[in-house]
Amino acid sequence: MSEIISSQTQEAIDRRFMAAALNQADIAGENGDVPVGAVIVCENKIIAKGYNQRHQLGDPTAHAEVIALTAAAEYVGNWRLGGCTIYVTLEPCCMCAGACVLGRLDRLVFGCNDPKAGACGSLYNIVQDDRLNHRLSVTKGVLADECSLVLREFFQKKRVSRQ
């Protein structure tokens, strides 16, 4: 019985923090960037936020996850982010998955799969590769429909504006 209660509780917690990541994705979209958002949580508290800023900053590495990881490391005062969970609306790419491994996060929770660039199960599985010195626990599909919808609507608007 306690396992059911804790998994339901964890599911509710994951949904709450993914909603916060979706808020970050909205900011990216409002700024004309692909709407991907991330939050990093430690002890049930958001310690860092990030959203895609590649166009805004003119930086190919300015993905939501990288921005959130940098902010979390500054908050903690250490690049090692053990005990932390990252919530991101879209499955991380190779760069971001590698950054999560290097940051020693405990857990990754993502919304929707990325069949074209996903490196946490879709194309690769960097965050759980036994050959690396660190692996993350992964939870997929939290608020997946909402996360997918934000991306679909963004790209539909882009296509319409090009016509």
β-strand partners of 85 = 41, 107
112: left (phi over 0), alpha (psi -120 to 50) or beta: beta
- Tell me if 120 sits within 8 A of 97, measured CB to CB: yes
Q: Which residue in 43, 65, 74, 153 is the catalytic one?
A: 65
- In the residue annotation, 91 being an active-site residue is answered as no
Q: What share of the chain is helix, strand, coil (3-state, %, to 5)?
A: 45, 20, 35
159: left (phi over 0), alpha (psi -120 to 50) or beta: alpha
DSSP 52-71: --HHHHT-TT--HHHHHHHH
- Active-site residue list: 65
